[in-house]
Structure 1
Amino acid sequence: MLQDVFLVGIGASPGIAIGSAYVVDRRRMSAVERTLEPHELEEEVRLFHAALQHSREQLEDVKKRVADPHIAEHLHIIDTHLLILKDPMLVDETVATIRREKINAEGALMRTLKGFRAVFDVIDDEYLRERRSDVDSVGDRILRNLVGVSQQSLADIERKSVVVAHDLSPADTMQMDKSRIIGFITDLGGRTSHTTILARSLGIPAVVGLESVTSQIRERMPVIIDGCTGTVVLNPSPDTFREYLDKKQFYEYQAEELTYFRGLDAVTLDGHNIILRSNIEIAEEVPIALREGAQGVGLFRTEFLYMKRKCVPSEDEQVEAYREIIESMAPHPVTIRTLDVGGDKLVSDIDLSDEANPAMGLRAIRFSLKEKILFKVQLRAILRASAHGKARILFPMITGVAEIKSCKNLLNEVKRELAEEGHAFDADIEIGIMIETPAAALVTELLAREVDFLSVGTNDLIQYCLAVDRGNEHVAYLYEPLHPAVLRALRMICRAAQQAGVMVGICGEMAADPLYTLVLLGLGFDEWSMNAPFISQVKRIIRQVYRPEAEQLVAELFELGSAPEAARRLAGEMNRRFPSLFGKPIGGPVE
């Protein structure tokens, strides 16, 4: 048997796990479509409704069994699955297909699920695309109940193990006992699935998206998983085992050390304070953000509210969704970004025609200003929710002053309407814009005069600035945050904001990468927003440096002529200052 078989997937939940494999069967259910006689149709409809009811009972049972308080915070996920079981798009369409096409329930359900998947597959945003896994999980549960196939509960696993599966549902993860399940690896999955969110909350290391790991591993095979780098080692050699055992011990020591920073301010040695907030998409991420020490939400993406629906969410539905997060995060502010859709069809009411280049087409604020009725409903909901705590409004993909003024005019119109109707709201709610195009960077001094704060979306800014699609494998290597053009754009934005006297923040992935902490500090960003698990690590670095030192480093980077030169200089500096954080990965190179 080969030793040291290295696999690379997606590091979904940080940590190191060393143990033996426990393989569980979580392959997707398949179904044979067959034609029915007319007199069989209503019985098939009854069987489908019975499978729905059985699925509801199973999920309710999972909720009752949850004992871990960290998992109890996320029972909303099971509630989401229960709502999917009632979704008319799932239930009514399947029943209609049974009757119209005269086919069995399994075949009709498979057709319905195929339609769902087609919608999700064309969505660019990783988080929103990952919501397909929730529909797949619910659909698979219904199919198993239709055909009478049961599956082993992870709660029944008795020996300490690394779970290996094709995929795992949130219900599976909620049943994990940390004393026995020390980590898991899957063929499918992404960083933003509900399953991995739960794994991070439990502190269980996980690597997902390995594609075919279930075909390469057998029961009780020795396995090492590194959820930090996405590395999996099958049948490790004694030397590799010792290396990872040392790494595991150091990681656990470091993780424990980082908990010390959760309740501290992100303040430099010379007293400069940085505000660290969290990016979130759903309410169940708020407890994680608070536990990690987030001082509010710097970016709440609202697109999830518009998915898997026949019609857009009502004003009252949106008020409730925003209110829940605002109240949970109080007294810290929640920054709500208005709808940022591109060339994707999220709900039946939002039917965007196909565009040759949706990234530069009718998206974000352009779409909202075209669909003013829909935009006003969202603004009304945000304002009404602002009566329950501190809220801020963030407009995406602004490129000029005219767009800001159009947004402000519409917002003022909505304020007048709500006042006349007697609704309470924060009349002085702060408004901000996202700087994510070269156009916005070039005229930041004009834009800053119109708003209360700025937020830089580095993901799009870098792509547009360098004309690089980082999702395109042929040019992704050109996506360079330290490119001289990118650094100059970021400096231009910070200086313009400072001159205008407005707060300037950053909510792209650069904020979450500790490698760039000194760069952002030296450039002058006041507020950083990131996924919650990165907050303590970034805070730790900030608290160990003087701001002038960061400014000097940035000045040196500006003297270099290329991104590779800047990357080498920065890596050397971070390695010198923080060798425990930026040391070379063990076990061979990880690409």
Structure 2
Amino acid sequence: MITLKGKSVFGGVAIGKIAFYKRKEQQIKRIHVEDTQAEIKRFEEAKAEAIEQLKGLHEKALANVGEANAMIFEIHQMMLEDLDYNESIHNIITTQEVNAEYAVGTTADNFAAMFAAMDDAYMQGRAADVKDVSERLVAVLSGEGEGGLHTDEPAIIAADDLVPSETVQLDKSKVLGFATMYGSSNSHTAILARTMSIPAVIGLGEELSPNFDGKMAIIDGFSGCVYVDPDEETMKAMKEKQEEDRKQKELLNELKGKENVTKSGQKINLYANIGSISDIGLVLKNDAGGVGLFRSEFLYLENDTFPTEEQQFSVYKKAAESMAGKKVIIRTLDIGADKQVDYFELEKEENPALGYRAIRICLTRPEIFKTQLRALYRASAFGQIAIMFPMITSVWEVKKIKEIVEEVKKELREEGITFREDVEMGIMIETPAAVMVSRDLAKEVDFFSIGTNDLTQYTLAIDRQNLKLDPFYDPHHPAVLEMIRIAAESAHAEGKWIGICGELGADLELTETFLKMGIDELSVSPSMILPIRKKIRETE
């Protein structure tokens, strides 16, 4: 048995023979042409046909994976229409008097290299896209059909990597799962794979050999492992894991569309925690009522410099639109403590958990804060966005935040930019100080969300990053639960709602306790939505 370790893209267990994806090798030859205008016309006709193919793929993707994930094929159409891209191809044909295939291939190589060299992770990802659309063009020009999967029986698809157009065209009835040598968990391919619920592992490296074609294998999408020629013991264990997963999915599917209501009629909202726009598919797939925590700091962690207003606006807008009217609560940047970013140039601190972080950075560096707030308010015109502020300890902080918010709204009005005036504003309750003044804080905001990870850390005076202290770290500690109860009581006394977005929200042992406290919302990882719904519906 050979064990390969990679990165999980989507959980699940797939058992079957490996089929290596046979991609047509495009041998592009440089051919001298006499009539360059005729060659340009041939290119333009091929481009029109490629655009029609992409429109068809877009329609298919809309039906299979939804609008947000089908957008890649609209982006590919736009790439084919890009002026710089077209001008490069025209120039190479005209000046070098060569065939269109060669001009497209050369342009693709140049553009892909340019994108790959950029610092921005999003732009780096476009290198694969420009290659994908160019290969489609060359296939049309050379009269080749589209590549694809050719297997008579369901199989585990293996490849060096799969581009979006290949992934969406996979016949799901023939695909048990897929494994790739390369790829990124934030790529369009990974997003589509998650949304299509195909067990997948990427980044297996060149140990994933084409020599494995036809061999029996197992993908364990939960652990990120692929077993080639599995032994009897591994096969037995994986079949049991697969059966357990199947039963769980059946159970969860039965709960989709059901209310989060106890037997006695008490209702609670179930929302999802996400770290990036790519997680939206999981939110929808697991039937969450909304997004209760969008960790915006990942925009900063993934960048080499401060994300611009436009970058942030694009992400927040897409999140709002993708959730189609459901609430999306976006937490302003929570940098500091265990989340360090070099370009913030934060000084080394003796105790960063108690240091310069989150709202403390925002209030002392308002230019960073205002950029994010402008992007958030602009995006509010496209859906149900709410804004949440982390690490609050005092009423004055909230009042200062509200002053800055008013300045931003005034600027946007003067610039004639549309936004929603009634955006809900809430705060994280994650310090004992916030709990103790929670009644006063509730007068200033629309909602509370309890960050139980930090609240436990600060209440117990235990660094949650210190593994030596694990035996002492008790999130079920009576003091922690009492803090949550007090915050809930304060919120309700002022007519405000309260949720929990920390790890404790997904703790099934505490669901009933939270219901008794009157917690209005639980926000958890997408995979925990339906198990918690089950627990709620079974509770008296």
* TM-score normalised over the length of structure 2: 0.70
Matching residue of 2:89? none
Matched residue, 1:433? 427
TM-superposed CA distance for 1:136, in Å, is 6.4
Unaligned runs of 5+ in 1: 27-53, 91-103, 121-130, 346-350, 470-474, 547-591
Q: Distance in 2 between matches of 1:79 and 1:504?
A: 40
Whole-Å separation in 2 of the counterparts to 1:487 and 1:110: 57
Query: Matches of residues 158-557 of structure 1 in structure 2 within 5 Å?
Result: 158-159=151-152, 160-187=154-181, 194-210=188-204, 214=208, 218-238=212-232, 240-280=234-274, 286=280, 289-302=283-296, 313-314=308-309, 322=316, 325-326=319-320, 329-341=323-335, 343-344=340-341, 351-353=343-345, 355-356=347-348, 363-386=357-380, 389-417=383-411, 425-436=419-430, 440=434, 444=438, 447-458=441-452, 466-469=462-465, 483-484=474-475, 488-501=479-492, 502-512=496-506, 517=511, 521=515, 525-546=519-540
Q: Deviations over 1:227-252 (max 9, x none)?
A: 24545433233454355445434533
Q: Partner of 2:344: helix, strand, or coil?
A: coil
**Alpha-carbon separation, structure 2, partners of 1:534 and 1:436:** 22
Work out the CA distance in 2 between the residues paired with 1:225 and 1:212.
17
Q: CA distance change for structure 1 residues 401 and 155 in 2, over 3 Å: closer, same or farther?
A: farther
Q: Counterparts of 2:313 and 2:428 in 1: how far apart (Å)?
A: 23
**Structure 1: how far apart are the matches of 2:411 and 2:157?**
55
Cα distance in 2, alignment partners of residues 361 and 168 from structure 1:
44
In 2, the alpha carbon distance for the partners of 1:397 and 1:154 equals: 52
SS of 2:265's partner is coil
RMSD: 5.1
Q: Distance in 2 between matches of 1:353 and 1:180?
A: 51
- Matched residue SS, 1:294: coil
Give the letter for the 2:15 counterpart. Answer: I
Which of 143, 156, 175 in structure 1 is aligned with 2:149?
156
Q: 1:229 to 1:281 in 2, by over 3 A?
A: closer
2:13 aligned residue: 16
SS of equivalent residue, structure 2 residue 534: helix
Are 1:299 and 1:337, in contact at CA under 8 Å, matched by a contact in 2? yes
> Secondary structure of 1:156's match?
coil
SS class of match (2:532) = helix
Larger radius of gyration: 2
**Deviation at 1:434?**
2.2
- 2:39 maps to which residue? none
Do 1:274 and 1:528's aligned partners in 2 also have CA atoms closer than 8 Å?
Answer: yes
Question: Unaligned regions of 5+ residues in structure 2, if any?
Answer: 24-45, 86-106
Name the count of aligned residue pairs. 485
- Residue 113 of structure 1: which of 111, 116, 119 is its match? 116
The Cα offsets for residues 23-48 of structure 1, whole Å up to 9 and x where unpaired, read as 4599xxxxxxxxxxxxxxxxxxxxxx
Q: For residues 313-354 of structure 1, what are the alpha-carbon distances to aligned partners after superposition, in whole Å with 9 as ceiling and x for unaligned? A: 447x76676455445545432223234455436xxxxx5225
Change (3 A) 1:246 1:433: same
In structure 1, how many angstroms separate the alpha carbons of the residues matched to 2:81 and 2:353?
Answer: 34
TM-score (norm 1): 0.65
Partners of 1:477 and 1:217 lie apart in 2 by: 46
Shift of 1:20: 0.9
Q: Secondary structure at the match of 1:270?
A: coil
What is the identity percentage for the equivalent residue pairs of Structure 1 and Structure 2? 38
In the alignment, does 2:79 pair up with 1:76?
no
Distance (Å, rounded) in 2 between the aligned partners of 1:280 and 1:442: 29
Q: Could you tell me how far apart the structure 1 residues matched to 2:16 and 2:145 are?
A: 20
SS of equivalent to 1:179: helix
